[in-house]
Chains A and B, each alone.
Chain A
Amino acid sequence: GQQVMQIPQYQHVQEGEDFTTYCNSSTTLSNIQWYKQRPGGHPVFLIQLVKSGEVKKQKRLTFQFGEAKKNSSLHITATQTTDVGTYFCAEYQAGTALIFGKGTTLSVSS
């Protein structure tokens, strides 16, 4: 079935450094959603991208959807300790549910 691959699995950065997580699919994605799960918490919706080449920003977070709609990235500029958590990409498949990547767990040291 459809799989969304996400890398890296873990990333540790110093506070103030940038961070990027990538999602890739072998087939064209209809959309890509990004979620953040804080330690001990639950996935919280961040954003959805639908259009080829789309770029959206939320403060220090930049989300991109590839031109071929087969990859996406989430970039955090100048990380803060509040950015700690696991970031998941997921494709929403109409009529079924979300297909998640394995997630990237970000840790930040001050």
Chain B
Amino acid sequence: EAGVTQFPSHSVIEKGQTVTLRCDPISGHDNLYWYRRVMGKEIKFLLHFVKESKQDESGMPNNRFLAERTGGTYSTLKVQPAELEDSGVYFCASSQGEREVFGQGTRLTVV
């Protein structure tokens, strides 16, 4: 089966610009998660979708981050405006149970 796909793999943007990350989960997986790993630190939960609904967005850092999941399929995570501290690797994961499958991640660098 196809895995979790994330796009782009890398993004370098200037502070103040907008970036949109995309995640295509495994087909049929109702659960979709976004995580972020800042260099040298732990992988931190951002939010969780069940189908198109936000189940838990307690990990979202602030209102500059907006996540959507259109029709319960792919998801986007928009950062607007980006700040330097937003740099890191953003992982998407999907699951149909307790075992999550991770995408390759998007490495975001804000300069």
Contacts and interface: CB of A to CB of B under 8 A. Distances in A.
Interface in B36-68: 41-45, 48, 55-56, 58-59
A105 B100 CA distance: 21
A48 interface: yes
Interface stretch (A52-60, A66-74, A76-84, A92-100): A92-100
Interface magnitude class on chain A:
20 to 34
A41 B43 CA distance: 13
B64 to A, nearest CB: 21
B74 interface: no
Interface string A32-45: 01010000011111
B19 interface: no
A95 B55 contact: yes
Interface of A: 31, 33, 35, 41-45, 48, 88, 90, 92, 94-103
